[in-house]
Structure 1
Amino acid sequence: MPKKQKKIQKNILLTEDVVQKLVDLAAEKNLTFGGVVEYLVVAHEEHRSAENEKLLTTMDAMIKKNLQDLLMDDVKRIRITANVIDRHTQMMLEFWNHYFIMTDAKSLGSTQRYKTPPFEEAEVLVKERVAHNRQKKLDAEVRQKSETYR
């Protein structure tokens, strides 16, 4: 019960069933009629507070689980992609090493020294392809989000 506060008189109209229940509760809890009303209001507030806390805990757990599932799926895709890229890179290194051995290459004609026109064309083509694929992915994500919110 809260601290002693000034009592305010209010007249309320109740059904006979409710009055009887209040009288029974007053006898059970050894309270006055006003004490029963105060007891019920405090109990109601405590119950509502506990209910809200339980709801927040449940929502928090659901959000964490959904985020974890979503992030784990993305991490799995990134890991698989990284493994494929690593494998392809290792294969290319092996092929180039074999090529250098077979051609008895003494030095490397790097792109820092010289870029052939076909190489420059390939560079532009790859940049455009990457940009195009990135834009397609972003468009698909926007479409998926807009369908989700419908």
Structure 2
Amino acid sequence: MRTTKQRLHVRLAPDIVEKIQTIANEKHVSQTDAITEAIDHYFAERDEKYVVFQNMISELMDEKFAALQEKLHRIQVTGNVIDRDTKILLEFMNHYYLINEFNDLITTEKYKTNGMQQAEDLIQKRIHKHRQKKLDYEKRKAQKHQESEA
């Protein structure tokens, strides 16, 4: 089955006409077939470049996703430990409340013992210390990154 061709009139620079004639002579085809082959080659190469570009982006995203996935896993493990510890404390408090036959609950908003205040202060200091360590680590990491770029 033969495809029908459409006539197209174009004006080309003389050096382009020479290049078309050279391709046609080298390939032993007509100038029309040489132009067709050149255009087909252009689109094939363009598609190939697109695939290469797409693969590069995919690899970069996989790399970043792996790092993110590791951090999410650590957060999940930490969350599981906190959840377990919280459930243990709730069971303990329920038992303690039952054994001592308390009728009412006094919240820390109503009364805060010295022990509770000490515990809150200790936790606040730990949080501040961990935050400072994280900031120092990020600062060192940024400095190393800047030194490697220089």
* Structure-2-length-normalised TM-score: 0.70
- Cα distance change on mapping 1:138 and 1:40 into 2, 3 Å: farther
Structure 1 segment 76-87 matched on structure 2, within 5 A: 76-87=73-84
- Cα distance change on mapping 1:139 and 1:45 into 2, 3 Å: farther
Once the two structures are superposed, what CA deviation does each residue of 1:72-96 show, in whole Å capped at 9, x if it has no partner?
Answer: 2222212111110011001111111
Unaligned 5+ residue runs, structure 2?
A: 1-7, 17-21
Q: CA deviation at 1:119?
A: 2.4
Q: CA deviation at 1:130?
A: 0.7
User: Which whole-Å CA distance do the structure 1 matches of 2:41 and 2:108 have between them?
Assistant: 77
RMSD between aligned residues: 3.4
Q: Secondary structure, in 3 states, of the residue corresponding to 1:104?
A: coil
Which of 108, 112, 135 aligns to 1:115? It is: 112
| Corresponding residue number in structure 2 for 1:16 | none
- Cα distance change on mapping 1:137 and 1:69 into 2, 3 Å: same
Unaligned 5+ residue runs, structure 1?
A: 12-18
| Corresponding residue number in structure 1 for 2:96 | 99
Percent identical across equivalent pairs? 27
Structure 1 segment 52-71 matched on structure 2, within 5 A: 52-71=49-68
Which of 19, 22, 25 aligns to 1:23? It is: 25
* Structure-1-length-normalised TM-score: 0.70
Q: Secondary structure, in 3 states, of the residue corresponding to 1:76?
A: helix
Higher relative CO (CA 8 A, sep ≥ 6), structure 1 or 2? 1
Once the two structures are superposed, what CA deviation does each residue of 1:2-43 show, in whole Å capped at 9, x if it has no partner?
Answer: x532132239xxxxxxx6x76322x2x2228xx85x567645
| Corresponding residue number in structure 1 for 2:128 | 131
Once the two structures are superposed, what CA deviation does each residue of 1:32-63 show, in whole Å capped at 9, x if it has no partner?
Answer: 8xx85x56764564354233202211112212
Which of 7, 13, 16 aligns to 1:8? It is: 13
